[in-house]
Amino acid sequence: MEKRADILFVFLLICVGLQAQNIDATIARYANEYGQERTYLQYDKMAYVPGETIWFKAYLMKAISPADDSKTFYTDWTDEAGNLLLHGVSPVVDATSNGQFDIPADYTGTFIHVRAYTKWMLNFDSAFLYEKDIRIITKNGNTPAAKIPVVPTLQFFPEGGDAVAGLSNKIAFKVTDQWGKPVKIKGLVQSSIGEEIDSLRIIHDGMGYFFLFPRLGESYTAKWKDENGTEYVTALPAIKPTGVSLQVTLSGVKRTFAVTAEQNLAKDLGTLHIVGTINQYQVFKVTKDMSAGFVKGIIPTQDLPSGILTITVFDRQWNPLAERITYINNDEYRFNAEMTVELWGLNKRARNEILITVPDSLEASFAVSVTDAAIGTDSSENIISHLLLTGDIKGQVFNPCYYFSGNNDTIANRLDLVMLTHGWRRFKWEDVVKGKLPEIMYPRDSTYLTLSGKVYGATNAQLRDAATIILIVNQKSQADGNIMLMLPVAPDGTFNDPSYFLFDTAQIYYKLSTGIKDGSATFMESRLPALRYRMPATGIFYNRLGDTTGYSRHFRLSDETLRLLQESEGKVLENVIVNTKTKSSVEIMDEKYTSSGLFSGGDSYKFDLVNDKFRFAYQNIFQYLQGKVAGLQINTSSNPPSLMWRGGPPQLFLDEVPLDADFVSSIAVSDIAYVKVFRPPFFAGSGTSTNGAIAIYTRRGNDGQAEPGKGLASNKVSGYTPIRQFYSPNYSSFNAANEKKDLRTTLYWNPQVVTTAAKNKMKLTFYNNDVSKSFRVIIEGITKDGQLVHLEQIME
């Protein structure tokens, strides 16, 4: 019997050992394969007026490094009622992206809400998506919800997760209003029989703590008053009859943890495993003998990366018992960037030059904003506080920048209160112990959003037989008119042109290979549609630190600027008479449509179909050309039509792309603007055609034809959101537009300032407006190693 017990004991030891190895391996896979991205958006200024443009730059990080795995970034802009205003899609380059959102001129809300994310981020807790309420200033200039009564809420957070009977428990608390702003209170904690336990003492920004030694079966409440004297009663969390108490204390660069358990439970536990993780990476693991009912340990943190250290206590079977987070701030995440003013220009429309310098060989990407200093700013959050703190915990943190304003004991202990009163990126330890990995519903956008799609309805045999798809891409913003593409279709039905980046929307007409009769195509399936909304904005994602002194000036300047802009757009330019030699319609068409040397000029017949009133009498372009070109024989009774010139078929081109007669015959004559028939020989790029060539050009938008592919199947397809360049006037030279009054509140915005190993200095130039007397310059950026900078300077 003893031998069997020994064998069972050894077997259990082996199982526990293997389980520990599995946990280590699973944690490593979480970090390496399922690392969670986080993002931060920098804006040109803190608040806006209806009709203005919000300019932004996004920064992406994973653990302590820039996150450059995802290639597409999404921003959803909603109004206060949760109605979607814009689903923005932009490319990610070197872990950054940028774009803009135009606020509707008739917008009447107090906020515009933005949610930003990558597709990969949607696989994890949505609480860690980027959210912000951006202030919209109206004529009254009041702060948001100024007349709404404050509704305070008191919450309790036992250290380690639970308050356990018979043990000393540290209970943290937090008092906030309905917008997350701290509230001052006075109160005390009582037992159910009225025994006074402790008072509620606010230590910092609505947070504090007290110690509780609860009795089994007892319940506790807090009686408190807000600043108006209104009384409240709040119950503490239920007392757990058994468990462990985990307490963590700060001592410089060390953290001391203490685990306590009731004596009988301690004997049953035997040993405990204690694991520390940062950014999902395991940084330590120890096993402690718990038989005495108390264990203690010291964690040196000076060599750890800055961030949230999660300490988790497990029993010997790896069931989680308690968990606590503590913040490590070793200040290694900063890099030095200096700004010097090379040329001062505080006078009206004066020139300014600033020089940004970083240490030699440092590669970094910045965004620089220059605004009128009098309009105010939101100094409560920046790139450092968000990517290293608020982007990694649940709930709102009031004035998070404060916790990075220094690294002394006072700030560290106040930051520890934030750790005690907020949620964080938790492992699901039950899954980790079982080796279960996250379920990925949204594959990462590991490639850019290029023109792509998939063919449905075709058989495997049809797709294997060199299937192709011919596309006509029509965009109003396309200066070169329609783009013709012929793409191969893979055996799985997919097609892609990795060199074609689609911005804005396009009408894409397509035709599949002749053998695919019932097939259809969809486009841009990797582009994520907008998330579902209609959740009203509450203002909780707005830091209410600033006063309203700058709002009135901001509104006056911005509102007047928009009025002047609307006034200038309504004016009609005076007529200007220019005498020039008149070109024939055919010459104009030839210059407009022939883009390459192969097709411009040449010995050819030319046909202007835009101005041909009889073009509607023909079913296809081959019927139109019959009898119009000497020696060119066209048989339209065959399917497809056949052509013969000097003993062979001439080459066919549609918008200068070689195509076959079958596809060309499907293009309606009303969609064709211009045709050139080149006499033999025709020197094509791939060689000489002894039988001539026919170049057919489809209509462009200003030729009065909206459907270049009429008769073909088509889809309206969206790509990346167009990215505009911020307009900054140049007053060093004459420009009629410069004669208007200049009241800009954002004087300069540049999201693409880059330093390299070879060039560590960047000089930027901007001009003052007509009224500003001082400027606020804000510079934020990230290096290729993940170091961050926030620099703010007043020029006055």
pLDDT in tens, 484-510: 788 998 989 899 999 888 888 888 888
At 12 the pLDDT is: 39
At 711 the pLDDT is: 61
Q: How far is CA 87 from CA 78, 83, 528, 721, in A?
A: 9, 11, 10, 8
Is the pLDDT at 638 greater than 50? The verdict is yes
State pLDDT tens for residues 666-724: 888 888 889 999 988 887 655 667 788 999 998 876 665 545 555 678 888 888 999 99
Taken as a whole, the chain contains a residue count of 796
Highest mean pLDDT among 528-537, 541-550, 736-745: 736-745
Q: How far is CA 107 from CA 46, 111, 538, in A?
A: 17, 10, 17
Q: How far is CA 487 from CA 106, 510, 657, 708, 714, in A?
A: 44, 11, 12, 19, 16
Weakest mean pLDDT among 123-132, 243-252, 512-521? 512-521
At 690 the pLDDT is: 79
In which band, very low, low, confident or very high, does the pLDDT at 612 lie, cut at 50, 70 and 90? confident
Is the pLDDT at 572 greater than 50? The verdict is no
DSSP notation for 657-688: EE--HHHHHTS-GGGEEEEEEEPSPEEETTEE
Mean pLDDT of 32-57: 94
Reduced DSSP (H G I as helix, E B as strand, rest coil) percent helix, strand, coil of the chain, to 5: 15, 40, 45
330: nearest Cα among 309, 359, 301, 298: 301
State pLDDT tens for residues 776-795: 999 999 999 999 999 999 99
At 236 the pLDDT is: 97
Is the pLDDT at 251 greater than 80? The verdict is yes
Is the pLDDT at 573 greater than 50? The verdict is no
At 567 the pLDDT is: 62
Mean pLDDT of 278-305: 93
Mean pLDDT of 343-372: 92
DSSP notation for 594-608: --STTTSSSSEEEEE
Of residues 738 and 241, which shows the higher confidence score?
241
Weakest mean pLDDT among 18-22, 410-414, 725-729? 18-22
State pLDDT tens for residues 732-754: 887 777 778 888 999 999 999 99
Average pLDDT of every residue of the chain: 86
In which band, very low, low, confident or very high, does the pLDDT at 574 lie, cut at 50, 70 and 90? very low
Assessment of whether the complete model's pTM goes beyond 0.85: no
At 534 the pLDDT is: 55
Report residue 257: phi and psi, to 5°: -110, 145
The share of the chain scoring above pLDDT 70, in percent, equals: 87
In which band, very low, low, confident or very high, does the pLDDT at 401 lie, cut at 50, 70 and 90? very high
At 676 the pLDDT is: 93
Report residue 559: phi and psi, to 5°: -65, -40
State pLDDT tens for residues 761-770: 999 999 999 9
650: nearest Cα among 611, 621, 608: 621
How many other CB atoms are found less than 10 A from the CB of residue 465?
13
From the number of C-beta atoms within 10 Å of its C-beta (0-12, 13-18, 19+), residue 205 rates as buried
In which band, very low, low, confident or very high, does the pLDDT at 475 lie, cut at 50, 70 and 90? confident
Weakest mean pLDDT among 91-100, 415-424, 615-624, 709-718? 709-718
Weakest mean pLDDT among 253-262, 407-416, 474-483, 658-667? 474-483
Is the pLDDT at 282 greater than 90? The verdict is yes
How many other CB atoms are found less than 10 A from the CB of residue 573?
6
